[in-house]
Amino acid sequence: MEDFLVAKSNLANQIETGAAHAAGSELLDLLPGIELFPGEDETTYEGLRQAFMADLAPGTPYETALAHNLITLEWEAIRHRRIRDGLLLAEYRDQAMGVFSKGEVGAVSSFGRSKEDEDAAFALVNPDPEIRQPAELQLAEYQITPAEILAKAYRQVAKSVEIHERILSDIEIRRRRLRDDFDRLKTARNRPVEDAEVVEG
């Protein structure tokens, strides 16, 4: 984990509503933050956190912890989508490697391929069209379409991808439930006390 970018978000900084006080801040300081994985953008996370905090406006340390739970769920959805897409992309590239080294769709071990084959396969999944185009032309020479490679890649990683798909749909339900509970907790706190009398100080 040492090589991971550790971006501990300090929950004490998350009380921005003015409702919490110094003791609350101290309490929140003790709660765990989230660790960003390599490739995850801290600015994006920070933007998401601020938007959620502004919307949820937690008023107590525990409400802030629950609000943070909601942010974590949202971030996890982004994370699972990224891993799912990454798994498919990596497999697509590995399957494409076979086309460039053997002329057929299929993964090749790193000892059975040349540097040129690797470069071509990496270029094929490059987001820049200028870098991608020569690799696509090379692919066309083998009369193999990207759809063929994608189909094989999907078949290979279907099981690994499936769990992320399932977690994604599950997160949606959990997020809705937690939001519902968060709102109920806030309502309970704000509920007027029946028969209350204002005592003049």
Closest to 44 (Cα-Cα) out of 58, 34, 55: 34
Q: Which helix (H) or strand (E) holds 76?
A: helix 61-102
143 vs 190, beta carbon nearer another protein? 190
19 vs 151, beta carbon nearer another protein? 19
Cβ at position 163, least distance to another protein in Å: 5
| Tokens read off for 42 | 């801290």
Cβ at position 27, least distance to another protein in Å: 5
Residue in 9, 14, 72, 95 binding another protein, rule: CB under 8 A: 72
Angle in degrees, CA 171, 174, 180, rounded to 5: 140
Q: Which helix (H) or strand (E) holds 29?
A: helix 22-29
- Find out whether 167 and 55 touch, Cβ atoms under 8 Å: no
Residue in 83, 144, 150, 168 binding another protein, rule: CB under 8 A: 83
On the CB side of 46, CA atoms within 13 Å amount to: 8
Task: Kindly write out the interface string for residues 11-50 of this chain, putting x where it contacts another protein by CB under 8 A and - elsewhere.
Answer: ------------xx-xxx-xxx--x-xxx-----------
Near another protein in 140-179, by CB under 8 A: 157, 159-160, 163, 167, 170, 174, 177
CA distance 27 to 74: 24
CA distance 147 to 92: 10
Which residues would be at the binding site for another protein (CB under 8 A)?
A: 1, 3-4, 23-24, 26-28, 30-32, 35, 37-39, 60-62, 65, 72, 79, 83, 86-87, 89-90, 93-94, 109-113, 115, 118-119, 122, 157, 159-160, 163, 167, 170, 174, 177, 181, 184-185, 188-189, 191, 193-195
